[in-house]
């Protein structure tokens, strides 16, 4: 969440920043008024608590002096003020809860260098690879769900039979390709990122730390009996690994990577792009994550984007990098770069990575701080996260791009060590 002190000290700046994200000035003003009410309620509660304590001392003094009448009078007054205090406690707690609820759904302030814009149509393409788009053959213009079915490597029907629509089932070389992609990415990140295998089910406060709750509850899978949530991304448990900790600055940055399954309801898709692997409820992904100081964050952001790009180059997939405008940023992000690959079989650009700098927004929710090496009070860390990469759409793009006229699929040589040396998926005999 944002630092409420910014709103108190420079309300116009907060209004202007959130206005870039489509938040009305009136909503920001209402939040400022609620904050003032919360502080006033807390001040009244504290004043009444202090008055009760003062009266209690006076009662004790009166009894020591043998003035029972005075002690009785003060005791009655103490009960009256105690009742007022109890009501003030309830009011202060109610206003504070409402303030926190609103702060939990208020987005982060966009970075000054994030482009202006209201939505995806205003995102800026900053580069693409290769600079000249390849010429795709007719054989590559077949959608991956048809290619996968013909080769026996993707079975959406049996996936739906097991779990419902939008749950894919991979078979044979299709399943092995997923495993190969995961190992390929983890090996590439091993030079600087510690591999972690976090739990797939997490507590409510773990989801709140990243900003996924309460705003995106409808998009998540919730196990009510145990009050656990299936993670939509490994960013969720990685963010909370150090929840409540105070680190030494010398430890920063802390870089982590994790391969996990991810679960999303895709409740808002409403039949849009629901064929094949374009939108699925479960997919595998390798995540990059970092805790850092504010000064370290820009270089880390650039490194994480470069790592995702380098994987796409090795996989030979046409891609572009988008600088997301303020109106299209995720709730927690101040700056985001999306990577999209071109899938010729569906003739679409598919988002396969989103690399974000969340400043101290998540760390404030999770209370993760560090002690500056130069001394002084602990400061909130900054968090960064990004996919490198999400595999469902990469799988689709590889199968479409690699298809040949004879129906086979040729995979990138970079995956050969992870596929037993074979990079060709041949049609079934007969």
Exposed, middle or buried, 63 (CB in 10 Å: 0-12/13-18/19+)? middle
| Domains in the chain with CATH codes | 4-105 (1.10.287.40), 120-425 (3.30.930.10)
Bridge partners for 390 per DSSP: 285
Residue 125 is given by DSSP the state E
CA-closest candidate to residue 262, choices 226, 294, 238: 238
Residue 170 is given by DSSP the state B
Q: Are strands 194-196 and 254-263 parallel, antiparallel or unpaired?
A: parallel
Percent of the chain as helix, strand, coil, to the nearest 5: 45, 20, 35
CA-closest candidate to residue 311, choices 412, 383, 402: 412
The distance from CA 360 to its chain's CA centroid, rounded to whole angstroms, is: 13
Q: Tell me the chain's radius of gyration from C-alpha atoms.
A: 27
Backbone φ, ψ for residue 250 (5° rounding): -60, -20
**DSSP per residue, 328-347:** G--TT-SEEEEEEEEETTTT
**HSE of 275 in the Cβ direction (CA atoms, 13 Å)?**
10
Give the number of other Cβ atoms within 10 Å of residue 258's Cβ.
23
pLDDT in tens, the chain (430 residues): 999 999 999 999 999 999 999 999 999 999 999 999 999 999 999 999 999 999 999 999 999 999 999 999 999 999 999 999 999 999 999 999 999 999 999 999 999 999 999 999 999 999 999 999 999 999 999 999 999 999 999 999 999 999 999 999 999 999 999 999 999 999 999 999 999 999 999 999 999 999 999 999 999 999 999 999 999 999 999 999 999 999 999 999 999 999 999 999 987 666 677 899 999 999 999 999 999 999 999 999 999 999 999 999 999 999 999 999 999 999 999 999 999 999 999 999 999 999 999 999 999 999 999 999 999 999 999 999 999 999 999 999 999 999 999 999 999 999 999 999 999 999 988 6
Do 412 and 318 touch, CB atoms closer than 8 A?
no
- CA 143 to each of CA 6, 140, 146, 276, 343: distance values in angstroms, whole numbers, following the listed order: 50, 8, 6, 8, 8
- Cα–Cα distance between 193 and 384 in angstroms, integer? 13
Residue 376 is given by DSSP the state S
Give the number of other Cβ atoms within 10 Å of residue 189's Cβ.
21
Residue 419 is given by DSSP the state T
Using the CB atoms, write b or e for 115-128: b if 16+ within 10 Å: bebeeeeebeeeeb
Kind and range of the H or E element at 379? strand 379-380
Do 20 and 326 touch, CB atoms closer than 8 A?
yes
Backbone φ, ψ for residue 170 (5° rounding): -100, 145
Do 184 and 398 touch, CB atoms closer than 8 A?
no
- Cα–Cα distance between 249 and 247 in angstroms, integer? 6
């Amino acid at each position: 969440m944002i630092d409420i002190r910014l709103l108190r000290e420079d309300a116009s700046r907060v209004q202007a920043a959130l206005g870039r994200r489509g938040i009305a000035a009136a909503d920001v003003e209402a939040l400022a008024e609620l904050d003032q009410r919360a502080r006033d309620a807390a001040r009244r509660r504290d004043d009444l608590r202090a008055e009760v304590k003062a009266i209690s001392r006076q009662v004790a003094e009166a009894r020591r002096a043998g003035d029972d009448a005075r002690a009785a009078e003060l005791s009655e007054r103490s009960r009256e003020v105690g009742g007022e205090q109890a009501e003030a406690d309830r009011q202060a707690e109610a206003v504070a809860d409402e303030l926190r609820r609103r702060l939990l759904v208020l987005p982060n302030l966009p970075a000054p260098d994030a482009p202006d814009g209201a939505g995806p149509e205003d995102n800026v393409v900053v580069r693409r690879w290769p600079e000249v788009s390849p010429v795709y053959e007719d054989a590559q213009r077949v959608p991956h769900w048809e290619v996968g079915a013909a080769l026996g490597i993707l079975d959406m029907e049996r996936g739906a039979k097991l779990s419902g629509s939008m749950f894919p089932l991979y078979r044979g070389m299709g399943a092995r390709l997923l495993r190969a992609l995961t190992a390929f990415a983890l090996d590439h990140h091993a030079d600087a990122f510690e591999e972690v295998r976090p739990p797939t089910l997490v507590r409510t406060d773990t989801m709140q730390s990243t900003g996924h709750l309460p705003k995106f509850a409808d998009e998540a899978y919730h196990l009510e009996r145990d009050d656990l949530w299936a993670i939509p991304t490994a960013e969720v448990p990685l963010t909370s690994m150090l929840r409540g900790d105070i680190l030494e600055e010398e430890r920063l940055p802390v870089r982590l990577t994790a391969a996990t399954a991810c679960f999303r309801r895709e409740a808002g898709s409403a039949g849009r792009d629901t064929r094949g692997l374009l939108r699925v409820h479960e997919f595998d992904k390798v995540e990059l994550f970092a805790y850092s100081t504010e000064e370290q964050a820009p270089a880390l952001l650039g490194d994480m984007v470069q790592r995702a790009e380098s994987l796409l180059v090795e996989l030979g997939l046409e891609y572009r990098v988008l600088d997301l405008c303020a109106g299209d940023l995720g709730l927690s992000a101040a700056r985001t770069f999306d990577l999209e690959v071109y899938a010729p079989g569906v003739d679409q650009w598919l988002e396969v990575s989103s690399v974000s700098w969340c400043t101290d927004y998540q760390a404030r929710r999770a209370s993760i701080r560090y002690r500056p090496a130069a001394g002084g009070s602990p400061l909130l860390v900054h968090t960064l996260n990004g996919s490198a990469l999400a595999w469902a759409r990469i799988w689709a793009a590889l199968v479409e791009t690699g298809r040949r006229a004879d129906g086979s699929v040729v995979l990138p040589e970079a995956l050969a060590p992870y596929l037993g040396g074979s990079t060709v998926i041949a049609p079934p005999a007969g």
